[in-house]
Chain A
Amino acid sequence: MNLRRYGIIYSALWKTSVAREMSFKGNFLLWIVVELLWFGLQLSFVGVIFRETTTVGTWTQWEMVLLVGASNFIQQVFQAFFLVNCTNLSELVRTGKMDFLLLLPVNTRFIVSLRQVDLGAFVNAIFGLCVMLYAASRLHLHPGTLQILGFAGLCVVGILIHYSLMFMLAAVGFWTVRAQGIVYGYYNLFNIARLPDEAFHGAFKAMFTFALPVLLVSNVPARVLADKLVSPAAWIALLALGVLWAAISEWFWRLSVSRYTSASS
């Protein structure tokens, strides 16, 4: 029953998002172009790297293209559902519009996280998928049903990790009023998600594998598809860290909201 109520609310949010996007059609299309350009940039970087070498660790050129595609796919789906809402959070706090959301008879985190949908990002997620399909055909991959399901499941975990980390970054807005660098921080952090894990060593790798699992979010799903999974430890780690970060981010959110002191008067 409760779930049904949230379903109805969410579909209403979708409708308003679609209406909003469609009232600025040109802008909607241009944002797709912007994201597409950046995706192309990442692919061209792979092209340049493999002019100089034949492998990065054990990753071959098309495996790395698969990785970049998977990374883009995960990032775009995250962006479609959550990114705008996360970046808007500090603005809600600054202007005191948070009052209104706290008063609504729904879970506040739900409404804050899912208020707007970025439809263009779905289009870009499809481009990511196309690049992955092409890379898979160049690699002569024939993933089984289990592999595809595993990939999809791990993508969901990856999106959750993106969301948990970004939501925490955004909740910093409750502590310092002007938290402009949030998106910048996010892009820098997840910038490395599309690079092969084997390019890294030592403390840096440990930090971005076990503490902030950025090097797992796209590498593990891509490895599943490309038959490169060395041991099940990788996906177990990704799953465990996903749950852990979701819990930490929920805890931090509650802590932050309790500090909220409106902005009126």
Chain B
Amino acid sequence: MRKYLHVINIGLQGNLAYRFNYLTRTLFSFIPLFAMLSLWRTVYAAGGGAQERSGYTQTQIIFYYLMVAVVDVLTAVNEDDWQIAADIREGNISQFLLKPVDYLTYRLCLFVSGRLAYVAMAAIPLALFIFCFRSNVVAPASLAAALAFPVSLVMTALLQFFISYGMAMLAFWLLEISTFIFILFAFEYLASGHMFPLDMLPPLAQHILAFTPFPYQLYFPVSIYLGRSAGPELWHGLWIQFAWVVAAYGFARLMWHRGIKKYSAFGG
């Protein structure tokens, strides 16, 4: 266990070297976020009954996007998938086959340290941004929501990581995997609720999405906080999210297992 704490420590130092990069990234990401908020405010200002149709008040929709930004900073996979793919392509994983270090755990530690470093850089600008919209901020919908939210948040992070890890394993078979990563990312962007709250979609689309892991990669924890998943639906959702985490973990392990058989250590 100690060795993995070391990995986190090293990862933190490595990631903090990019702190300027993280800071500019965060600041740049405020442009589309602010644009989104302006757009919705314009929609609501027109007073065409948007509230009745969407089930969101203007305050709620603004807070939804703010929460998405927060959850994204805390859980999104940053460059991990590219780095894993590069490790495989360039033969860096050979050393993990020899050392008593589990590559998945190793990468998970780096993911955690990457998130910690990112949060350290993004926290202040993001807090300032949210402060500008403080009139829209609300507390968790209930005590249950307040307790379930962090649990769901951790599972969201794990789900994101395992899926990215499994996808990066494609590098065992293919030279160029960025297209596949971007295709998945496009689906995630829409289906995880990044662009708009998923309950704004037509019912049929919502039903289809319920069978995919995407909503559990972002939308679900936000909806818990906002009290849109409450009562039995909340517990039910947490179990499904847990099942997806286990499934994604299995997928990640399986891909590694299959890939390593194919692996022939280029360069080495």
Contacts and interface: CB of A to CB of B under 8 A. Distances in A.
Interface centre among B24, B29, B32, B42 (most CB of A within 10 A): B42
Given A53-B48, A57-B42, A191 B190 contact: no
Interface in A22-56: 24, 27, 30-31, 33-34, 37-38, 41, 44-45, 48-49, 51-56
A161 to B, nearest CB: 16
Contact of A27 (B50, B176, B200): B176
B42 A52 contact: no
Interface string B172-212: 00001001101100110110000110001110000000000
Given A33-B179, A53-B48, A184 B25 contact: yes
B50 A53 contact: yes
Contacts of B18: 178
A188 B28 contact: yes
Interface of B: 18, 20-21, 24-25, 28-29, 31-32, 34-35, 38-39, 42-43, 46, 48, 50, 53-54, 176, 179-180, 182-183, 186-187, 189-190, 195-196, 200-202
B42 to A, nearest CB: 4
A158 to B, nearest CB: 18
Interface of A: 24, 27, 30-31, 33-34, 37-38, 41, 44-45, 48-49, 51-57, 176, 178, 180-181, 184-185, 188-189, 191-192, 195-196, 198-201, 204
A53 B44 CA distance: 8
Contact of A45 (B38, B50, B196): B196
Contacts of A199: 35, 38-39, 42
Contacts of A57: 42, 46
Nearest to B79: A180
A199 B34 CA distance: 11
B176 A24 contact: yes
A68 B157 CA distance: 32
Given A199-B38, A204-B35, 8 more contacts: A33-B179, A33-B183, A41-B186, A41-B195, A56-B43, A178-B21, A185-B24, A198-B42
B32 A51 contact: no
A27 B180 CA distance: 10
A100 to B, nearest CB: 25
